[in-house]
Amino acid sequence: MTDNTNHSPPVTVLSSLQAWLTTETPQSRFQAKMTQLYRGWQSLRSNPLALVGFLILVTLILVAIFAPLLATHGPSEQNLAMRLAPPGSEGYLLGSDEFGRDIWSRIVFGSRITLMIVVLVACTAPVFGLLVGTVAGYLGGWPDMVLMRITDIFLAFPRLVLALAFVAALGAGIENAILAISLTAWPPYARIARAETLTIRNADYISAIQLQGAGSLRIITGHIWPMCMSSIIVRVTLDMAGIILTAAGLGFLGLGAQPPMPEWGAMISAGRKFLLDHWWVATMPGLAIFIVSLGFNLLGDGLRDILDPKGEQS
C-alpha cells in the first residue's frame, strides 16, 4: 500500500511567506512594515562587515543574558592561591587578576554593565536631542537661536572632559556616569534633527497638514519625527562605540563603576600596574572593549547604507 501523503507543506508555507514579504503591492500597513524590514535584513546580510557587526552585537546581548551560565566563577570570587594566574591555567580561561578573580567571568558579567550603559544612553540622549532639534528647526526664530546656542556650548567641550565635569559635580558611581554621558551625548542628535527638519518643514504635505488644523506638537511628533528616525538610528549606532569608550574612560579614572563591579574600564585601570609582567590583566578587558566598539561601528556603517539611500547615490 503506497503512501500518497504530500510532505511539502512546509516548503509551500515558506514560499508563501517569502512571496508575502517580497510583494510590491502590500495590502496593509503591517505587511508594508514587514516587507521593509525583510528588505533591510537582505541588504544587511549582503554586507559581510555589517553582518559581522550585527553578530557581535547579538553575541553581546546573549552573553549578558546568560552570564551566570557562561561564567566559570563569581565575578567577585577571590582565590589568592591563583593570584595573577596566566591564561589557560586550571579553571581560568583568560587568567586571573591581582585578587585571584577569574578575568573571563568578570568580562562576561561586565557585558551586562556595558549593555546597560548603551541601552540607557540610547533611550535618553537621542530622544532629548531629537526633541530639541525638531522644535528648533520647526519653530525657527528666537527658540531656534536659543536652543542652538545652548547646543553649541555643549559641543564646544570634548565629550569626555564634559562628562568628567558632570561626574565630579554629581559624584562617582555608575548611575551618575550614565547620567553624565547622556547629558554630553545629545547635541549631535539635536543638530541632525534640526537639519532634517529644515529640509521638510516647508514641504507640501506639511502645508496640507497645517491647513487641516494640526498643531505644531502633532506635526513635530507625528510627521517630522518619523522622517528623522533613519538618520538618528544610524548616528546612535555609530555613537555607541564612543559612548562605551567614554564609560570605560570614566571607569578607568575611578569615576564610573566602583569596585568590585566588573566594569571593563575599571578592570583596565586595576591591571595597568601589571601590564609589563602580567599583560592579560589589562589586555583582556581592553580586547572586549575593542571588539564591541568595532561591532557597533561595522553595524552603523551597514545601517547607513540601508537607511540612507542618498549615500548610495553619492
The string of pLDDT tens digits covering residues 93-148 is 898 988 989 999 999 999 999 999 989 998 899 999 999 999 998 888 898 899 99
The C-alpha cell 525583510 sits at 38
The C-alpha cell 572593549 sits at 289
Query: pLDDT tens for residues 14-73?
Result: 777 777 777 777 777 777 778 877 787 787 788 888 889 999 999 999 999 999 999 988
Q: Judge whether 303 and 50 are in contact, CB under 8 Å.
A: yes
77: nearest Cα among 39, 51, 103, 48: 103
Q: List the grid coordinates of 42.
A: 537582505
> What are the structural domains, with CATH classification, of the chain?
48-78+91-313 (1.10.3720.10)
What distance in Å separates the CA atoms of residue 221 and residue 236, rounded to the nearest whole number?
19
Q: List the grid coordinates of 50.
A: 555589517
User: Would you call 130 helix, strand, or coil by DSSP?
Assistant: helix
Q: Judge whether 265 and 250 are in contact, CB under 8 Å.
A: yes
Neighbours of 305 (CB within 10 A): 16
Q: What's the confidence (pLDDT) of residue 306?
A: 76
What distance in Å separates the CA atoms of residue 213 and residue 52, rounded to the nearest whole number?
48
